[in-house]
Structure 1
Amino acid sequence: MKVFFKRVAVVCTVVSATLLVNLPAQATTAAGFPFFSATNTDTMPSLAPMLETAMPAVVSINVEGTQVSRQRVPEMFRNFFGGQGEQVQERPFRSLGSGVIIDAKKGYIVTNAHVVKDADEILVTLTDGREFTGKKLGSDEQSDIALLKIEPTNLIAMPLADSDILRVGDFVIAIGNPFGLSQTVTSGIVSALGRTGINMGGYENFIQTDAAINRGNSGGALVNLKGELVGINAAIFSPGRDAGNVGIGFAIPSNMMKNLVDQISEFGEVRRGLLGIIGNDVDAGLAEAFNSDVNKGAFVAEVTPDSAAKKAGIEAGDIITALNGKTLGSFAELRAKVASMGAGADLELTIIRQGKAMTVQVTLGDAGVTVKTAAEIHPAFSGATFADGTDIAGNRGVTVSDIEAASPALRFGLRKDDVIIGVNRQRVNNIKELTERLANSEDEVMAINVRRGDTTLYLVIRK
């Protein structure tokens, strides 16, 4: 059975009334559950008082835009297309989503990058019916976060919670606009933390919730029982393309979102920090081989020369178990958290070396490239997700970490796990160098050197 992950955002299933009925009588009072704000023992417990303050910070987002698709025209057919080597089609679209006001004084609204992708016009509607034209200040497609700005007139912002202290089993409330039904509220619990590998590409460190997730919830709020923002709803698991909620939804943690938004508001873009290690997840066998009692974390297979990790004294064979005192469950979680921090950020890593625990202080380096989608590097790469990596021989290059079906990048000839190692016989070690080689080349035709397993091949693109 095929499994699909849809970027349609998260809404959690309603808390069962029987859970409240079965609790001790004193637990239903205002003292037992302050978030219910019951005035006396005869008042039914309710989330309404908290939602009355939280819901005005959640907005509806209507987008109009143009999707541009590009298709290479084979040489033999170019005379039928006016001699053009590329056919460009433009298709107007409309879409709906949600957003959360995070700064009332500046008019800042956070949403998902996919909600406002290719947007020409953004209309933001508040709970009181007021409408504003939204301006996109910047976005990060690899983390699926975008920052919008509207006129800061009598707005209400939602306070941020520390998502690092969330626990599995904590109650959460989701607020959004599924199918354009504004201000829809549902509730549930945190089902899992640090969830990765859900096939969305980019940087993944999701909160999983037993969410009733539907189209239009993307960018909406996942809040705790104090009405504080713990996550931005982003995606659902669905067994089919047209299937609905099955109780597995994902949200981007508020701490990760804040790190990215702070960079976008300051620079207009994300400037990633760089740790400078290559590794993988820790399992029981690896932990035993390296005399570690910890079976989870990030194993360091290689430390990049002159990197932040090298300067901090991290060595190949180390197991990183915590970042700033927070336990790490996987290498992907470490990668996502580091990637959301800006260059120059200071952090503390807990590592296991030869069975002994120690801490190291690290100042992140500069990833060296403004975060861009593959399409921004060159239209022929549209639909691909790039990451710095290595080929099977250990040579550095640009890895194709994901690629969309029927995309220009797939038609161009790229495949998942390909590694771009050169342009016009000049070595390429990372995304920054690939971007520079293509931008600075004066050649009309450029040969892209690709490693695919043990095979080397060249793909030709036109400037």
Structure 2
Amino acid sequence: MNAKFLAVCALVGAFVMQPVSANIPFFSSSDETPTLAPMLEEVTPAVVNISVKGSREIRQRVPDMFRFFFGPNGPREQVQERPFEGLGSGVIIDAEKGYVVTNHHVIDDATEIVVTLKDGRRFDATVVGNDERSDIALIKIENGEDLTAIEIGKSSDLRVGDFVVAIGNPFGLGQTVTSGIVSALGRSGLGIEEVENFIQTDAAINSGNSGGALVTLDGELVGINTAILGPNGGNIGIGFAIPSDMMRDLVDQIIEFGEVRRGILGVRGNDLTPEVAEALGIDANYGAFVSEVIEDGAAARAGLESGDVIIAVNGEKVRVFADLFAKVATIGAGREVDITVIRDGKTKTFTATLAAEETSVTAESIHPALESVTLAVAEQGGVQITEIEEGSIAARYGLRQDDIILAVNRVRVNNISDLRAAVDNAGSVLALNIRRGNSSLYLVLRSAR
């Protein structure tokens, strides 16, 4: 018996041993050969192709050698509108209402959205709401009939090694199915999105798969395919999907409010390392170590303390601090959450009501040099200057309206809470990493404090 035959037997055995829905046969009717076809026949009608058209504003710096044509106050940038077309994928989650989940980057700036079903029918669609910071969007099929919705599973039940199937529209080829396993859970710190808590899979995901479905062998949606890690934009077996639990929380907020209203727990900290665990005398190898509890924040009111190690939110494991941030941010402001911690070697659970993330603030309260500046969270991440008074300290240092602050003293800021924390640790000198149109620059602000 050769090695190749043994490998095939092992693979078939692994598939056969997977639990599947009683309503979906796992074998062909003719010769009892293992097959995914019955499950896919049920699921694939819920996965759609999305084509978009629109225009984007392109900013280009005017070279200094040409600026004299416009006089001393001539424009520094040239703005052009350029048309674009794009392709992606989506998943029908509500057949009656025609709701389709996809990625924000699939429909970003689109003025025309067309959804094509597996059976070839085409429908116009409109945007219900989206969240760029987590790359989720909800669109609605207009006048859709006889639609098929997918069953949404619990991504928190996934384990590394579970078999999964990716369905989408890679390279505009049309609906395509690939299979693999869950390679890792809770992936973060990749710099793909601001809010990251990805499922990693080796199921082939390529350009055009964005917004498509990652499903289990019993046909339940557990992820929205979003990104790949590949040197040339092609599949190398490292793909990422937004967990279905996270997607559901975001979509519920979009349906209820038309937007995502992020929750804030009010803690700062780091990943639990073996060194920290040993110093605290606790037997744990995962969690979010709380180094500071913000005064009057949700965590403080719930009874959390610095030195706590958060190991679960609503019963779902917290592996690292970024995992905690992603879970809290997507649950939503005003919602109650159960926070499980290890304190003094004992496990305790606290109930916290999440506060709302600051979305706009007069910046003088953050730093004196930002007097007469109004800030808001930028859609693409960072903190945007929405208003600035002419002649103010910040204006004299070179800040302008619509500048986006990306980092303070090399500390990344994604929102106003991050900006406050970074400024608190920076002293009176602020080195601001600014994005201005398509350019990036540093500005240094000083003020006596």
Q: Bin the TM-score by the shorter chain.
A: 0.7 to 0.9
Please show how residues 12-51 of structure 1 align to structure 2 within 5 Å: 21-22=9-10, 35-38=24-27, 42-51=31-40
SS for the counterpart of 1:173 is strand
Please show how residues 334-353 of structure 1 align to structure 2 within 5 Å: 334-353=324-343
SS for the counterpart of 2:152 is coil
Question: What is the distance in 2 between the residues matched to 1:166 and 1:296?
Answer: 17
1:130: Cα distance to partner? 1.1
SS for the counterpart of 1:134 is strand
| Letter of the 1:338 counterpart | V
SS for the counterpart of 2:146 is coil
Say yes or no: does 1:306 pair with 2:296. yes
Cα shift readout 1:149-186 (whole Å, capped 9, x = no counterpart):
11232110001001111111111011000011111001
Please show how residues 63-462 of structure 1 align to structure 2 within 5 Å: 63-71=52-60, 78-81=67-70, 83-151=74-142, 152-238=144-230, 240=231, 242-369=232-359, 372-373=378-379, 380-381=402-403, 384=406, 386-387=414-415, 388-389=417-418, 390-391=421-422, 393-394=424-425, 408=436, 411=439, 413-414=441-442, 456=445
1:39: Cα distance to partner? 6.3
| Letter of the 2:330 counterpart | S
Aligned with residue 60 of structure 1, among 49, 57, 63: 49
Question: What is the distance in 2 between the residues matched to 1:66 and 1:38?
Answer: 48
Equivalent in the alignment of 1:419 = none
1:274: Cα distance to partner? 1.1
- Report the TM-score, using the length of structure 1 for normalisation: 0.78
SS for the counterpart of 2:87 is strand
1:90: Cα distance to partner? 1.8
Q: Report if aligned partners of 1:30, 1:37 keep a CA contact under 8 Å in 2.
A: no
Residues 295, 184 of structure 1: CA spacing in aligned structure 2 closer, same or farther, 3 A cutoff? same
Q: Percent identity over the alignment?
A: 53
Ranked by relative contact order (alpha carbons within 8 Å, sequence separation 6 or more), the top structure is: 1
1:380: Cα distance to partner? 3.9
Q: Report if aligned partners of 1:57, 1:157 keep a CA contact under 8 Å in 2.
A: yes
1:77: Cα distance to partner? 5.4
Q: Report if aligned partners of 2:132, 2:380 keep a CA contact under 8 Å in 1.
A: no
Q: Report if aligned partners of 1:380, 1:412 keep a CA contact under 8 Å in 2.
A: no
Residues 410, 322 of structure 1: CA spacing in aligned structure 2 closer, same or farther, 3 A cutoff? same
1:195: Cα distance to partner? 0.7
Unaligned runs of 5+ in 2: 361-376, 387-400, 407-412
Question: What is the distance in 1 between the residues matched to 2:15 and 2:414?
Answer: 51
Q: Report if aligned partners of 1:30, 1:36 keep a CA contact under 8 Å in 2.
A: no
Question: What is the distance in 2 between the residues matched to 1:312 and 1:305?
Answer: 11
Q: Report if aligned partners of 1:374, 1:382 keep a CA contact under 8 Å in 2.
A: no
Cα shift readout 1:340-379 (whole Å, capped 9, x = no counterpart):
0111111111111222221111111111328641587657
Equivalent in the alignment of 1:434 = none
| Letter of the 2:131 counterpart | D
1:214: Cα distance to partner? 1.1
Residues 400, 312 of structure 1: CA spacing in aligned structure 2 closer, same or farther, 3 A cutoff? farther
1:198: Cα distance to partner? 1.4
| Letter of the 1:170 counterpart | D
Question: What is the distance in 2 between the residues matched to 1:277 and 1:401?
Answer: 24
Equivalent in the alignment of 1:435 = none
1:43: Cα distance to partner? 2.7
Question: What is the distance in 2 between the residues matched to 1:19 and 1:145?
Answer: 39
Unaligned runs of 5+ in 1: 1-15, 415-449, 459-463
Question: What is the distance in 1 between the residues matched to 2:179 and 2:104?
Answer: 24
Residues 410, 391 of structure 1: CA spacing in aligned structure 2 closer, same or farther, 3 A cutoff? farther
SS for the counterpart of 2:107 is coil
Residues 60, 81 of structure 1: CA spacing in aligned structure 2 closer, same or farther, 3 A cutoff? farther
Q: Report if aligned partners of 2:133, 2:380 keep a CA contact under 8 Å in 1.
A: no
1:273: Cα distance to partner? 1.1
1:200: Cα distance to partner? 1.3
| Letter of the 1:391 counterpart | A
1:18: Cα distance to partner? 6.8
Greater alpha carbon shift after TM alignment, 321-330 vs 97-106: 321-330
| Letter of the 1:128 counterpart | D
1:85: Cα distance to partner? 4.5
Greater alpha carbon shift after TM alignment, 265-274 vs 329-338: 265-274
1:314: Cα distance to partner? 0.7
Q: Report if aligned partners of 1:206, 1:253 keep a CA contact under 8 Å in 2.
A: yes
Cα shift readout 1:236-295 (whole Å, capped 9, x = no counterpart):
111x2x252111110000010010011111111111111111111110011112222112
Q: Report if aligned partners of 1:271, 1:369 keep a CA contact under 8 Å in 2.
A: no
Cα shift readout 1:105-139 (whole Å, capped 9, x = no counterpart):
11100001111111121111111111111111111
- Report the TM-score, using the length of structure 2 for normalisation: 0.80
